[in-house]
């Protein structure tokens, strides 16, 4: 079984796809292609303070490139590998929201009162000592939320996200 760097516990589906598993399930999990849902999920996280952001987001990888070039590389690599770009919100901290090859992007709510989160979104912010930091939702890193309700193709796209980022930034 191949180890996925940001996922602690895994299961193998009948199709042979490795997927994260945890006994605690999210409050709500669904797929969307709606730009309104993307904006509702991304905007609150993008505009929070650095301290709040560190609770919501975790560093996936540091890039030697600046923010603009990091975003361009991530976008190009995603498209080259067949992942559509659902949204790209530019600004001080750009957010790149990828869609699965199966269509749409997963949306997760951990609790009834939590903001929706998109595990296939990447926030890019300026690094403290130059370059840029690529961030993902913290629950993806910390708790390996269950993806059992998602199609295997979507789970595979989620599992491939860290290696996609790695390839984009070498």
Following DSSP, what letter does each residue of 13-32 receive, concatenated? Answer: -TTS-EEE--SSPPSEEEEE
pLDDT at 159 (0 to 100): 85
Does a structural domain hold residue 155? yes
pLDDT at 140 (0 to 100): 56
Question: Is 130 within 8 Å of 136 (Cβ atoms)?
Answer: no
Report how many domains make up the chain: 1
Of 64-73, 130-139, 160-169, minimum mean pLDDT range: 130-139
> Residue 164: phi, psi to the nearest 5?
-60, -45
25 pLDDT exceeds 70? no
Does a structural domain hold residue 1? no
Does a structural domain hold residue 148? yes
* CATH number of the CATH domain containing 84: 3.30.310
CA angle 109-112-117, nearest 5°? 20
Of 10-19, 60-69, 80-89, minimum mean pLDDT range: 10-19
Does a structural domain hold residue 88? yes
Give the distance between the most distant pair of CA atoms in the chain: 45
Of 81-85, 120-124, 150-154, minimum mean pLDDT range: 150-154
Within 5-137, where are the H helices?
35-46, 50-56, 67-80
Per the listing, tokens 């390996």 go with 144
Residue range(s) defining the domain that contains residue 148 = 10-168
157 pLDDT exceeds 50? yes
Does a structural domain hold residue 4? no
Does a structural domain hold residue 83? yes
pLDDT tens, residue by residue, 109-128:
878 887 788 889 999 999 98
pLDDT at 38 (0 to 100): 84
């Amino acid at each position: 079984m191949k180890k996925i760097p940001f996922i602690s516990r895994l299961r193998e589906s009948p199709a042979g796809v490795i997927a994260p598993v945890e006994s605690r399930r999210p409050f709500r999990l669904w797929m969307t292609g709606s730009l309104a849902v993307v904006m509702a999920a991304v905007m609150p996280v993008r505009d929070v303070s650095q301290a709040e952001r560190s609770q919501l987001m975790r560093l996936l990888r540091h890039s030697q490139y600046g923010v603009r070039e990091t975003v361009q590389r991530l976008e190009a690599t995603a498209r080259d590998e067949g992942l559509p770009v659902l949204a790209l919100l530019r600004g001080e901290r750009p957010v790149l929201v990828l869609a699965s090859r199966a269509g749409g992007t997963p949306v997760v709510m951990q609790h009834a009162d939590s903001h929706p989160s998109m595990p296939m979104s990447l926030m890019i912010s300026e690094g403290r000592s130059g370059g840029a930091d690529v961030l993902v939702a913290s629950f993806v890193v910390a708790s390996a939320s269950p993806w059992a309700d998602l199609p295997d193709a979507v789970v595979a796209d989620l599992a491939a996200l860290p290696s996609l980022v790695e390839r984009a930034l070498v």
